[in-house]
Amino acid sequence: MQARISIPKKPERSVNDAFASHFAKSVFLTIAGLAILVFIGTRMLTHIDLNLYGYMVGTIVFIGGFFYRFIAWGERPTKIIIKKGLKLLFRKSTAKTAVNHLAIYDFIRNRGVYRWVQHILIGWGCVLACLVTFPLVFSWMYFTMEDNGYYTIVLFGMNVMKVPAEGVIAFFSYNALNIAAVMVISGVCMALYRRLRNMQARAEQKFMYDFLPLYLLLFISITGLLLTFQNIVLHGWMQPQMSLIHQFAVIVTLIYLPFGKLAHIPFRPMSVLARNYREHYGEQHMKECKVCGDKFVSVEQSNDVIQVLGVNDISFNMQDGFNLAELCLPCRRKYRISRFSGFPTHQVKVKEANQNAKG
């Protein structure tokens, strides 16, 4: 009888073997892509503005922090929403949802016009600043001035158009960051006024998490406006010093951004996936509350919540024969009260006075 010698198969090799983790691979590929775009945009590194080098380093650190935060969040069991939401990306309502959530903030307008205007100013002010700053920082776009009084707009090494230096396009191009700064300052002041005046907001807000991001945005915007003021009115007096202060503030904010409250800005597109997830499965079969019988969430979402809790070894199976995730929010709150008081408050057929309140 001949003995069979099993030859072990060589393990399959892939690109992932070159990296220690998904985080390392994502950051490397992103930085490599940026390097290629910089190489193209600067006409093979022949046009680099070293005054913007600090912003470039801060942006690269921000990208690393963003991917770390995103992948750490995506590795949680809640990633099921992302996976199912991506499969529903081509729903007919996706475009409308994207506009409502990412452009006009319609979901905030339901809470009040004041808060809606505040978010519009801050959100679009930051977006406008990023759309102008990042192409300039990575030299994807820059301007050249000719003797005939015309600017040439250069995009990825190609001359796009010539505009008069005293024209409307040149004016808005030069003052785009100033316009963004005014928008952010107005929105931040509105937010600070509301949070300092509203007693409930004052009790719930924390300085490091809620107020510090607003102060950072305010400081960046003010120092940015001061640069223009010093250049035009003061003829450049103390401008180099203020430029360093402004650059330092931007770099600190970029490094802090992925780990603080401002992280919801780059994460905001995920809300479109979550909305598609809720709408799609909500159209199929809604879950009835085990206590009051109201339909409050889709059966799919309720089952996913119970599954996610089980993966984390968290069980909310109650003695009454249901899971806490199978109760609507008002009944869930009343059930928790009943566990402390001993009185079955969740069975009382009285709805909360403010359960449908907007705000």
Percent of the chain with pLDDT over 90: 16
Predicted confidence at residue 359, as pLDDT, reads: 37
| Domain range annotation of the chain | 22-267, 284-347
CA dihedral 190, 196, 198, 201 (to 10 degrees): 100
Q: Which helix (H) or strand (E) holds 141?
A: strand 141-145
Give the helix ranges, DSSP H, for 138-259.
168-174, 176-197, 199-204, 212-232, 239-256
The predicted-structure confidence for 81-112, as pLDDT tens digits, reads as follows: 778 888 888 888 888 888 988 888 888 888 88
3-state secondary structure of 30: helix
Which of the residues in the chain have pLDDT under 70?
Answer: 1-16, 74-78, 311-315, 342-359
Predicted confidence at residue 355, as pLDDT, reads: 47
How far is CA 11 from each of CA 8, 255, 271, 298, rounded to the nearest angstrom? 9, 39, 39, 43
Predicted confidence at residue 343, as pLDDT, reads: 65
pTM score, whole prediction: 0.78
Predicted confidence at residue 9, as pLDDT, reads: 56
Predicted confidence at residue 179, as pLDDT, reads: 94
The predicted-structure confidence for 156-166, as pLDDT tens digits, reads as follows: 878 888 888 88
Predicted confidence at residue 62, as pLDDT, reads: 87
